Amino acid sequence: MQRTQRPLLARLAGANPTSVFLLTLVVVLVAFFTPGVLGGLLTLALAAALIALLATTWPVQAPQTRVIRLLMLTLLVTVGLAKLL
């Protein structure tokens, strides 16, 4: 592991992609189908985790990928805020 890597990122890199996808899918579905404030908070918590991941991987992403990720993140935050209201 390099000095610039964080232990959490090293653990995430070694995680099973299928398990990570399924866990994320479950969290997204629970957040979207939970009504009211709790659903909004879950959606915004997921967006916060994605912001942290996006900030970490920003330097190695192509410009087209950055735009798509920012659009999807904006959509997720918008849905979270709409559920709060």
Tell me the per-residue pLDDT of 37-66, one tens digit each, with 9 for 90 and over. 999 999 999 999 889 888 888 888 899 999
Q: How far apart are CA 43 and CA 72, in angstroms?
A: 13
The one-letter amino acid code at 53 reads L
**Do residues 39 and 31 touch, judged by C-beta distance below 8 A?**
yes
Q: Within a 13 Å sphere around the CA of 7, how many CA atoms are in the beta-carbon half? A: 0
pTM beyond cutoff 0.85 = no
Length of the chain: 85
Q: What is the SS3 assignment for 5?
A: coil
The one-letter amino acid code at 77 reads V
pLDDT at 5: 57
